[in-house]
Every structure is written in C-alpha cells, then in structure tokens.
Amino acid sequence: MSGIAKRKLSNSVAMGISVLCAAIGLGLLFLILYDVVRHGLSSFGWTLFAKDPAPPGMAGGGLRSAILGQILLTAAALLAGVPTGVLAGTFLSEYGRSLKLSKIISAVSDMAVSIPSIVTGAFVYAILVKPFGGFNGWAGAAALAIIVLPVIVRTTESMTSMVPWSLREAAFALGAPYHRVIVGVVWRAAAGGIFTGVLLAAARAAGETAPLLFTSFNSGHFSLNMSRPVPSLTVTIYQYAASPYESWVALAWGAALAVTAAVLLLNVTGRVMIGLKQRR
Amino acid sequence: MSLDHRLNFVFKALTFVAALSILGIVMGILIVILMESIPALDRFGVLGFLGGRDWNYSKEIYGALRPLVGTAISTGIALLVAVPLSLGTAVFLTEICPHRLRGAIGAAIELLAAIPSIIYGMWGLFVLAPFLDEHFQPLAGKVLGSVPLIGGFFLTRSAGGVNLFTASLVLAVMIIPFITSIARDAFSQVPDVLKESSYALGATRWETVKKVISASAATAVGGGVIIAMGRALGETMAVAYVIGNRHAGLDSLFSPYTTITSVIANEFNEAGGIQLSSLFTLALVLFIANFVALGIGRRLVKGKYQ
C-alpha cells in the first residue's frame, strides 16, 4: 500500500472509532432512560402519587409521603442555600472583587461543588443528628443546602461579574448608593442567569441520596414533621430497590422515573434558558 | 451617617458574612470529621489504619486497606474505560460532527451527568450486572482465566454480577460526560490557525488530532481526567448497590468487594463507637484525596488558557 493510501486508511479508521465512541455515549444515555421509563411506567399511576407504601410483601401502595418529603427537603434547602449563595456570590464580584480573600473563597467554593456528598452527609450527621438524638428533616435539608450553596455562589459570581461595569457607573452617576446599584441594576441584569443556576442547583439537590441517608433517613409513615425522619424518593429507591419484595422493587422503579423526570426537566429548562439568552 | 450609608454598610456586612460562611462550612467539615476520626486514629495509628487489612466487627479491628484498594481499582478501571471513549467522543464533537448537531449531541451527553447517581446504581444492579454475569464474565473467564499468575482475577466465583468489575463500569459510564465536556472545551480552544496550518501541510484529520490538537490540549485534558478521578473516588450510590460490600481478600475482578464510599453508605447507620469513628476516618481520607485531585486537576485545566 502506498504511503498516502495508508494514511487515508488510518484516518478513516480513527474517525470511525471516534464516531463509534460518540454513538456509545449517546446509546448509553438512551439505554438508561429507556430502562428507567420501561420499568417505571408499570408502577406509574395515580396511586403512586396518592398513596403511601404498602406493608412489605403486599401489592400496591404509592409514594405520596416520599414525593412530598422530597419536595419539602429540597425547598427547605433552597430557602437556606439560595439567599446565602446569592449574597456570597455578590460579595465576591462586587464589594470584595479586589480582595485576595475573595479569590480564595471563590476557589474554595469551586472545589466545594465537588465535595463527595457522602462526606457532607457524615458531617451533618455529626453536628445535627447525633447531638439531637435521631434522624430529622432539618438535618437532611441542611445537608442539601450545603450541596446547593457553592453552586449558587459560583453562578451568582459569574453572572454578576458579566454585567457591564458601565451599567453600574450609570447608576452611580445618578447618585445611587452601592447597595441600591446591586439590587436595582446588577441583580436585575443577572436575574435570568442566577435563576438558571437555582434550577440546576435544585436538580442537583433533588437527585441526591447519600447526604440524606444519614440525616433525614426515611419513614414508612406519612410524616412531614421536620424534626422527625422525613421520607424522600431517593432514599426510598435505595431501600426498596434492593429489597426482596416485588412490590417494593416496582415502587423503586416508579420513584426512579419520577426523580429522573424531575431532574432532567429542571436541567433541560435551565439549559434552554441559557440558550435563549445567548441567542438574543 | 446617612440612611443610605448605613443600609449599604449593613448590606455589605451581610454579603461578607455569607461569603465567609462557605469557608466556615468547608473548614467545619474538615474539623468535625477530623475530630470524629480521632478515636480510630488513636487506636490504630494513621499507618496502622491505612494499611490495616482487617475489618472485623467482633474483634473491633478496622483497617482501610481493602476499601482503599477497592476504590483505587474501581477508579482505575473506570478511567481506563471512560478516557478513550470520552476522548473519541470529544474528537467527534469538535472535528467530525456537522455544526448543526454539535450543540444537541453535546447537550445530550452532558445530560448523562445530570442523571442522579442512585439511578445509575439501580440500572447497574438490574440491567448491567445480570448482562455482564451472563454474557461477559464467562467469556472473560474462558479467554483470560488460564493465563498464569493473573488468570484467577478473571474467573467468576459468585453469581449475580454484583462485583468490583460491574461497579467499575457503572463508574465509567458516570464519568464519561465529565471528561468529554472538558476535552471538548480543550479541543475547541486550540486556535484554528494551528489546525489550518496542519491541513495546509497535507495532514489528514487524524494526523492533525494526533499531532497538533492533542499536543496543544494535553495539559487541560490531563486535568479533566484528574477531576473525573476525584468524582469517581467520591461516588457513592452508583457503587453501593453493585459492589457487594464484602470484606475479604480480593480473589477476582468478578468477586464482590468494597470501596471507601460503599462501606460508609452500608455501615454508617448501624455503626457506633470505634466502627463509626473508623467510617469517619474513611470519610476524611476521601475528603482529602478528593481535594488534592481537584486542586491538581483545576490547575492543569485552567493553567494553559488563562
């Protein structure tokens, strides 16, 4: 074979392999989604949302308490994490933008995004479960808030620092004090981006299992009392999927479909919002 | 001081306190986990704990060696599988794929990263594990089982597909999107002039990828791989189901084993005393390993282009 033919051949082979790699990646995504939908649909119905789990071994039952619990935990986490994160991100890009400390905090929160969530769970267990004598919803919400916080800080910082400085100067020139410039101009300009960050953070929190395992744990009874164990979809999946009862495994698939759908929906919404913004 | 001045001061103080809270939380995690680890570290010593083979409930002796080995092997196999797949996908996305489809396909692969890890775990347990058990393990045993010295590591010794290898593959699937997106960003930041010069010299696409793009993007891709490694080290729920959590010598890749995260997830809630402290020590090891990996990886990814 001539040199050129050889080079062309190796080029085709390499490019073929690369296409194959992408096909495998995409294929895996569809395969996982297909399996979750296929198994999940069989237990999807109004009972899934309206009833509580049946006793072990008995057919039927639903995940009402787990769904409400999951929403409660995620909402509480966002309620604590979003304001703190937005304020912190604002400090980094506004008041503290030239401080060395801000660079450190920014780098630390970037790394905090990737702290293994099971470590966060163990930490919250030590400070909010052990001293109070039992699993409780507050601890679960706190663990999720710790996971949400650095995500919000990072998005707020990058979104607010993308607001052109001339906008701030225009407001300063009108005599506005800095805090009003931030609230009225910077936040307003960055609101869409920050909201997208909140959506992505909510998706992250709603899919977490490990940090809830040692904190809010689970409860078979309908309970939304935050000072007691609060059931969640993810922990329910963890416990039910590995159980020997067929009805529980079916419920776990139903829960898996609900969680995956919610998380992907939040993600896609966030991405579409980013896309729309870039197009404008 | 006018009202506006005072309000501005209060607002500034609020943002400052919020910013400090992040440092407080991260330091708090480190300090609290360190404190909880002290009983175990006191009893076994740092090296005694890290090098200890036993994980014995009745004798109350706990050593991290097996979970450490399990985490190292599963992460290693995951990288071995995921890195080539991800790089191939990144080459496809930046060099081959028609422009109109790039965004959509890239986003679809990034969605893989958004799927909660418990879902990967469940998929691994119900779909991947039985599949490997039935179709892949017998083949691996037949082909590699009789190789001297290492052949035993490819023999199936327990049924069901719940083992170290399955866990590694689930991890591999999970980190593909991370490596892909970092590699794609690194490839697409290679200046067009460089690629065009290569094509002008008559290089094929593959030669350009191999000699020009990879030379220019290597550091950032290396950083991405290290970040993905950190992610794989700390991944819990995807592994906890399919690893089997067995504290025994490693006799085969197709045997149940244990990792740092799976021991913590499986035993934390039933543990007390020195066992709980040992689990906290494992969490500490994980926290530190993850921070180190992330620190190095971030530096490599950012270094070149900023």
Identify the domain containing residue B33 by its residue range: 3-303
Q: Where are the alpha helices (DSSP H) in A42-63?
A: 46-50
Please answer yes or no on whether B286 and A116 come within 8 Å at the CB atom: yes
Q: What CATH number did the domain enclosing B21 receive? A: 1.10.3720.10
Q: How far is A51 from chain B (nearest CA, A)?
A: 23
pLDDT for position B251 = 83
**Strand blocks (E) in B187-249:** none
Q: What is the pTM of this model?
A: 0.91
Evaluate whether B256 touches B244 at the Cβ level (below 8 Å): yes
Q: How far is A164 from chain B (nearest CA, A)?
A: 20
Which residue in A114, A118, A274 has the most chain B C-beta atoms within 10 A of its own C-beta, making it the best mutation to test that interface?
A: A118
Q: What is the pLDDT along chain A (280 residues), one digit of tens a residue?
A: 678 888 889 889 999 999 999 999 889 989 999 999 999 888 777 777 777 777 776 767 778 888 899 999 999 999 999 999 999 999 999 999 999 999 999 999 988 998 999 999 999 999 999 998 889 999 999 999 999 999 999 999 999 999 999 999 999 999 999 999 999 999 999 999 999 999 999 999 999 999 999 998 887 677 778 888 888 999 999 988 888 888 888 889 999 999 999 999 999 998 888 777 666 5
In this prediction the ipTM stands at 0.91
- State whether residue A232 sits within 8 Å of chain B by CB: no
Query: Per the CATH hierarchy, to which homologous superfamily does domain A47-279 belong?
Result: MetI-like (1.10.3720.10)
Q: Which residues in chain B have their CB less than 8 angstroms from residue A203's CB?
A: 114
Q: What percent of chain B has pLDDT over 70?
A: 98
Q: Which residues in chain B have their CB less than 8 angstroms from residue A180's CB?
A: 4
Name the 3-class secondary structure at A196.
helix
Q: Which of A214, A81, A123 is closest to B26 using CA atoms?
A: A123
Please answer yes or no on whether B89 and A84 come within 8 Å at the CB atom: no
Full DSSP string of A130-152: TTTTS--HHHHHHHHHHHHHHHH
pLDDT for position B303 = 61
Please answer yes or no on whether A116 and B287 come within 8 Å at the CB atom: yes
Q: What is the pLDDT along chain B (306 residues), one digit of tens a residue?
A: 688 889 999 999 999 999 999 999 999 999 999 999 999 999 999 999 999 888 988 888 999 999 999 999 999 999 999 999 999 999 999 988 888 888 888 888 888 888 999 999 999 999 999 999 888 888 888 888 777 777 777 877 777 888 999 999 999 999 999 999 889 988 988 888 988 899 999 888 888 888 888 888 888 899 999 989 999 999 898 898 899 888 888 888 888 999 999 999 999 988 888 999 999 999 999 999 999 998 899 888 876 444
The token duo for A5 is: 């033919």
The domain tally of chain B equals 1
Evaluate whether B28 touches A119 at the Cβ level (below 8 Å): no
The one-letter code for the residue type at A204 is R
Domains of chain A, by residue range, sit at: 3-41, 47-279
